[in-house]
Amino acid sequence: MNNSKYIFNNLKKEYPTYHTFLNYSKDYEFLFAVILSAQTTDKKVNDATSILFKDLPSLDDYSLKNKEIIINDIKSLGLYKAKCNYLIDSSSILINKYNRKIPSSREELILLPGVGKKTSGVVLNELYHANLFPVDTHIERVSKRLGLVKEKDIPDIIEDKLESYFDMYDKVYLHHAFILLGRKVCSSSNPKCHLCPLKKVCKKGVSSV
């Protein structure tokens, strides 16, 4: 039985609205924030970018001459040296190849330094409402516990299955709602199953309801 309608409707009741978890005011800032979010929390990224975006307010500022500023502003984040290089190299590509615009295709986006399939999906959803279902650790955990995918499935396979399963629904919204559910209720340890709006269709029963 396909429970996609039940899942969508109950998540809508629980989380009626959504917005991006990362703060930005310019398109390239969102791209940079997503690149910086790898292996760290959104809060830490927002804390870092609140300083970074103020110190370097233009895309042109992300160059080798300002490398020390970038590193200093993002050093609280994991892999900050590599991420600094990603921002500098991506800035150069955006300026010289894409006329300062963020590419609107996944094929082009994933060629940017520091951008993978998940990152590209998040960026395309936010900036172009691409209706994709990029998979992070929260979405992977929730979808497996709900029995929507197999335990052995990798993120790429999970994304394909979720997009097919929720073909008729707003996947941009669902992407955010699954993350919220994973953060607030369906945590990796000590999930609050008794509070879960989807407990009736959960296949795992990881704790008593």
Indicate which residues carry an active-site annotation. Answer: 118, 136
Asked whether the beta carbons of 124 and 109 are under 8 A apart, the reply is yes
Asked whether the beta carbons of 106 and 94 are under 8 A apart, the reply is no
Rounded Cα distance, 127 and 80, in Å: 25
Residue type, 134: P
- Per DSSP, 197 falls in state T
**Beta strand ranges found along 12-165 (DSSP E):** none
Asked whether the beta carbons of 83 and 77 are under 8 A apart, the reply is yes
- Per DSSP, 101 falls in state P
Rounded Cα distance, 31 and 33, in Å: 5
Asked whether the beta carbons of 186 and 145 are under 8 A apart, the reply is yes
